[in-house]
């Protein structure tokens, strides 16, 4: 991860400082091929020299807004038992979509993300949500972003704080999207994070089960295999997604 990332519009010192804060070194030169960072409409974005689409975090529009306004988080809310107002640690932050849904249910969410570029993209989306005011700002204020390997950080923090009620995991798995543009954009994200992430699933699930007080919730495709082949205690099944629930070690 010690790569120097091209950042177009690099004359914007605020974005350079933002990236430096998250441990991302930048240059103003466009690469001959591959991924690069750019600034579009005052937002940090991930782009690729082979295409026009970009990946950026925007909680005020698109799927994030649709899920918030049209009940897209109902099944997730049931899986974490949101009505009991649990504390939640999201161990696979990514682009923050599920963390934002959880925070929109009134929950305090700590997000762990180990990749510095992904952290920078997510932090920029939270920055804009906070600056925009209104409901999005109130939701973003309930999210605490931490750059760390959750498999290492969670047990250590849980030993000090007692841990969260719920640990949430959304391990990377093959995505199916309806449009070619979305497929290409998510392919950029997968290329950025790397397929090697799947090799860490066992360590992450183990850390989650050692850290949570009440339950570990794992997001899976509707007909997908159990994570690491481990059978959950129970499930919440939807048409587009399934949530497998595991009991923490001390409760199992």
Buried b (16+ CB within 10 A) or exposed e, 28-44: eeeeeeebbbbbeeebb
For residue range 167-203, list pLDDT tens digits in order.
999 987 655 555 555 566 677 877 887 655 555 899 9
pLDDT tens-digit readout, 97-127: 999 999 999 999 999 999 999 999 999 999 9
Q: Closest Cα to residue 116, out of 53, 61, 37, 175?
A: 37
pTM value is: 0.89
The three-state secondary structure class of 18 is: helix
What residue ranges do the domains of the chain occupy? 57-246
Q: How far apart are CA 117 and CA 155, in angstroms?
A: 24
For the domain spanning 57-246, the CATH number is 3.40.50.150
DSSP three-state, residue 190: helix
Angle at 12 between CA 9 and CA 16, to 5 degrees: 95
């Amino acid at each position: 991860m010690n790569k120097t990332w091209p950042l177009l519009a690099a004359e914007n010192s605020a974005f350079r400082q933002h990236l430096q804060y998250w441990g991302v070194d930048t240059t103003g030169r466009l690469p001959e091929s591959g991924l690069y960072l750019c600034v579009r409409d005052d937002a940090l974005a991930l782009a690729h020299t082979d295409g026009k689409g970009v990946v950026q975090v925007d909680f005020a529009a698109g799927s994030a807004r649709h899920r918030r306004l049209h009940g897209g988080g109902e099944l997730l809310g049931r899986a974490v038992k949101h009505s009991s107002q649990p504390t939640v640690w999201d161990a696979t932050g990514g682009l923050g979509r599920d963390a934002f849904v959880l925070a929109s249910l009134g929950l305090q969410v700590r997000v762990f993300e180990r990749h510095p570029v992904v952290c920078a993209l997510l932090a920029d989306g939270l920055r804009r949500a906070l600056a925009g005011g209104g409901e999005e700002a109130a939701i973003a204020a309930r999210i605490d972003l931490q750059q760390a390997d959750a498999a290492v950080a969670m047990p250590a923090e849980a030993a000090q704080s007692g841990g969260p009620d719920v640990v949430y995991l959304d391990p990377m798995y093959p995505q199916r999207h309806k449009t070619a543009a979305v497929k290409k954009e998510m392919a950029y994200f997968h290329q950025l994070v790397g397929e090697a992430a799947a090799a860490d699933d066992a360590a992450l699930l183990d850390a989650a089960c050692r850290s949570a007080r009440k339950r570990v919730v794992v997001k899976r495709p509707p007909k997908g295999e159990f994570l690491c082949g481990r059978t959950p205690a129970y499930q919440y099944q939807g048409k587009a997604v399934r949530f497998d629930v595991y009991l923490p070690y001390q409760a199992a």
